[in-house]
């Protein structure tokens, strides 16, 4: 499962709840709710850093006045969690005896292809 976005400040382990964007041509720093996606020229901040941000002399800070809330889990997060639970609940396959023949062309395809959900591992040809 994807981990939550963390605060961009060095050494801060907190979860991000706000996004900082600089508008250079207006000398303004904008602190708003956490953006849906991390962008290259923005910074994710935790609540304490979002509330205490100051700007250089001559710059303005526009700050969201409401509460900063952690984002709800995304569909991707929920699907990943469901897949992890399904995988943990799946019984382990019975080990094959060392003298059992391995037929790669017939029989149970799950052993030769390593099928897992919608993905499968195709063994190399020998």
Contact 31, 62 (CB under 8 A): yes
How would residue 4 be classed by pLDDT, with cut points 50, 70 and 90?
Answer: confident
CA–CA dist 84, 35 (Å, integer): 27
- Among 19-28, 40-49, 80-89, 102-111, the least confident range: 102-111
Three-state DSSP at 42 gives: strand
pTM assigned to the model: 0.54
């Amino acid at each position: 499962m994807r981990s939550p976005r963390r605060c961009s400040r060095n050494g801060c382990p907190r979860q991000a709840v706000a996004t900082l964007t600089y508008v250079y041509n207006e000398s303004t720093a904008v602190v708003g709710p956490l953006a849906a996606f991390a962008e290259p020229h923005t910074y994710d901040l935790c609540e304490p850093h979002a509330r205490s941000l100051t700007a250089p002399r001559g710059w303005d800070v526009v700050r969201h006045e409401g509460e900063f809330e952690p984002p709800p889990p995304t569909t991707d997060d929920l699907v990943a969690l469901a897949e992890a639970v399904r995988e943990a609940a799946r019984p382990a396959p019975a080990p094959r005896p060392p003298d059992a023949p391995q037929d790669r062309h017939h029989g149970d395809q799950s052993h030769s292809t390593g099928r897992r959900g919608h993905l499968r591992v195709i063994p190399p040809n020998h």
